[in-house]
Structure 1
């Protein structure tokens, strides 16, 4: 009986376990519905809310708690400590102190809040309530633009009424929100006043700006909200990471007895390449009074952090390469602790034949534009006069094409035809390898000394045009415009508002952007947080523009605000 009773109990346990492990059959569509807020207290827009109130939020789904906690912003900050208490789908928020009287509070739940299936909220949610008898109604909106993911970017508003120069790396903002997956954001229920806005890619999640780590976006003007003008839109940002690292020399090595290569930590800001003695010195390690003369230097066309130096004949000694007065592209100076490097000199003569490392047109290419420029990059400096004298550019193998040579550096040359090439025409470039040599007299080592190509048909190309109007009558600087497709990019510029034209472009789907170059450096300036430097004004044209061959797309008018 005991044995039978034990077996019965064991069978019952097995049955219970099997039943308990049963689940709803798999299958069906994956849940991709964004979570939402079902109920919240205090009620949105509530006034005369008690100062000891607690906030309760009911979500439509069970949430990943830390994604919500990290995405909650309360403005102004209500207390030294905030406590988050979860029970199922419900979150209760309590404070270590009472709220201030006669104050509008804004609770924002950022778009990065996720449910257990990692579905994020569609947009940030903002709730306003007041411990007084009215709700502030200010609203600032716009977009965040970046080469990387913009979803969840913090958009921060700092009041300038008490602090004219807020430092986002040191103080918390008065108002926060997060951008959605398309970069759109809305700061709601803001009190009247003057504000400075920043967009921060808050990687360390401290709600402050960490230079060199967080991406940051700067506005081009501060925002004033008044009782009459409560809504300001199109406050947009372009994100960038501020370069705070000093430039330094990474390595140097001898190529042969008259050439060395030096690599820096990052691309170097342009300097006077024709006067290398103003920036570089090479001395023997054991006798700094004995220097090695630098005859010329140039930047590697393929790597702007690498420079080549032609020197007097070296000896098999250790040399010290030292540099000064250089800057990186961001304007950071040289780290003087790492401004020099040792390398071993070489007594080996240059016996290596130069090769063509890059050519802008390859052999047997078709569809070349008629306004193309030819470019050749060599592995080392070559003798320029023999190259120009022996360079043959022929149309239909008979007619010589006239043009001008431009040497970008001793190893890079461009050829500009005097006039546009003809459509749908065969061209040939001949480079006699037995007459082209480097400085040491080594002749060109390249099996392909002839390049054949054909230009495209006139019916292939198209155009995009329109007007750009700068609404700021005091706007200064050229207006730079860019049209980009997945395969091609074109640029043009204007002195002032007026008609623009991207002519002779390949068909495709393009996006157009523009900026006003206020500092006249020919590139977009992102601005600076501290000390504050406003970003340049820019615009991304809202619509993608599709153009087909022979069908120009006109009337794409742009307003720069």
Structure 2
């Protein structure tokens, strides 16, 4: 009876804890790819696994600008990347290998590897568009968001945010861009109407380095509605809404008024109070803490003044007790 041998990790020797390293690419960095139907190759210093973290080998690559679906062929120590539509002439391409590939021992790439090359048309233009993708609800950075930068020429450049929510486009052509960041929940590469997303507009000139943060939020076409208004004290009313309010909206621009609901004879002629200020909850808490701190300072001054007065009174009393009364004089006759 014969059986096929299975590939296994050789026994013995020191444990391999070092991640694989890209040692060569085709084309070389900032080189020119003349054959537009050729593969882009990443070569490693050791054998790599067919398994990637959280997806497929095709999903491990981001080709920018878009050129159709990505197809990946695996060699023992290499990955070859093709695009469905091939590469277009006269463009600068960025092919980014995400940090999801590992060796046979499970050691995963530490950082993404980015290859920049052109298909003719001159050298890449030194520009950078970067920033942070963050959640408008909790203020936290968004990891693995998809960012699309669509230019006036119709080309769509794409990137992904890292563990700190940072994205970066290098060597974009000068021009106007519509930047869209979103959580690609269905993995189709497009911002659907139900996905968390945000948009920014950018003008990029030759040599520019622009930092543009993009806040993303769940799509919502309905306006926030007041659900409750409760007096907090004699001069403060807490207003609660059924949805989150835009974090960049200025409370000072909001229009609010207070009316008198009492229609009885006792309420006739009562003027409604005016609105002095409108603040968010965080701003009100800061105001209360400031007032409390001011009162604490006044209390400290009053206590110090009282202590000083008490000390002065004690000093006066002690001085009075220490006065020597002379003996009565005896007068002889």
TM-score range for the pair, normalised by the shorter chain length = 0.5 to 0.7
Give the CA RMSD over aligned residues: 4.4
Partner Cα separation in structure 1 for residue 217 and residue 141 of structure 2 = 12
Partner Cα separation in structure 2 for residue 99 and residue 22 of structure 1 = 41
Give the corresponding residue for 1:156: 148
Partner Cα separation in structure 1 for residue 9 and residue 26 of structure 2 = 39
Partner Cα separation in structure 1 for residue 224 and residue 86 of structure 2 = 55
Give the corresponding residue for 2:39: 54
Give the corresponding residue for 2:159: 177
Partner Cα separation in structure 2 for residue 226 and residue 21 of structure 1 = 52
SS of residue paired to 1:115 = strand
> Residue deviations 1:254-299, cap 9 Å, x none?
xxxxxxxxxxxxx97227xxxxxxxxxxxxxxxxxxxxxxxxxx79
Give the corresponding residue for 2:217: 240
Give the corresponding residue for 1:491: 282
Preserved contact between residue 150 and residue 177 of structure 2 (Cα < 8 Å): yes
Shift of the alpha carbon at 1:183? 1.1
**Structure 1 portions without partners, runs of 5+:** 1-16, 164-172, 247-266, 272-297, 302-372, 376-402, 410-474, 481-488, 494-499, 507-561
Aligned residues: 242
Shift of the alpha carbon at 1:407? 8.0
> Residue deviations 1:92-112, cap 9 Å, x none?
12345553332222212234x
Q: How does 1:112-511 map to 2 (within 5 A)?
A: 113-115=100-102, 121-132=109-120, 133-146=122-135, 147=138, 150-159=142-151, 161-162=152-153, 174-212=156-194, 214-219=195-200, 222-227=201-206, 229-233=207-211, 235-243=212-220, 269-270=225-226, 404=234, 477=250, 491-492=282-283, 504=290
TM-score if structure 2 supplies the norm length? Answer: 0.58
Partner Cα separation in structure 1 for residue 134 and residue 249 of structure 2 = 23
TM-score if structure 1 supplies the norm length? Answer: 0.36
Higher relative contact order (CA 8 A, sep 6+): 2
Preserved contact between residue 68 and residue 109 of structure 1 (Cα < 8 Å): no
Partner Cα separation in structure 2 for residue 237 and residue 24 of structure 1 = 50
SS of residue paired to 2:171 = strand
Preserved contact between residue 108 and residue 176 of structure 1 (Cα < 8 Å): no
Partner Cα separation in structure 2 for residue 196 and residue 216 of structure 1 = 13
Partner Cα separation in structure 1 for residue 113 and residue 158 of structure 2 = 11
Partner Cα separation in structure 1 for residue 26 and residue 42 of structure 2 = 7
Partner Cα separation in structure 2 for residue 58 and residue 121 of structure 1 = 13
Partner Cα separation in structure 1 for residue 10 and residue 130 of structure 2 = 50
Describe the shift of the 1:502–1:184 C-alpha distance in structure 2 as closer, same or farther (beyond 3 A): farther
**Structure 2 portions without partners, runs of 5+:** 240-247, 254-279, 293-333
Give the corresponding residue for 1:169: none
Partner Cα separation in structure 1 for residue 158 and residue 95 of structure 2 = 9
Higher Cα Rg, which structure: 2
Shift of the alpha carbon at 1:140? 0.4
Query: After the TM superposition, which segments of 4 or more aligned residues of structure 1 sit over 6 Å from their partners?
Result: 405-409
Partner Cα separation in structure 1 for residue 72 and residue 283 of structure 2 = 54
Q: Which structure shows the higher helix fraction?
A: 2
Partner Cα separation in structure 2 for residue 41 and residue 22 of structure 1 = 31
> Residue deviations 1:356-399, cap 9 Å, x none?
xxxxxxxxxxxxxxxxx9x6xxxxxxxxxxxxxxxxxxxxxxxx
SS of residue paired to 2:217 = strand
Preserved contact between residue 65 and residue 158 of structure 2 (Cα < 8 Å): no
Q: Does 1:90 align with 2:46?
A: no
Partner Cα separation in structure 2 for residue 152 and residue 476 of structure 1 = 27
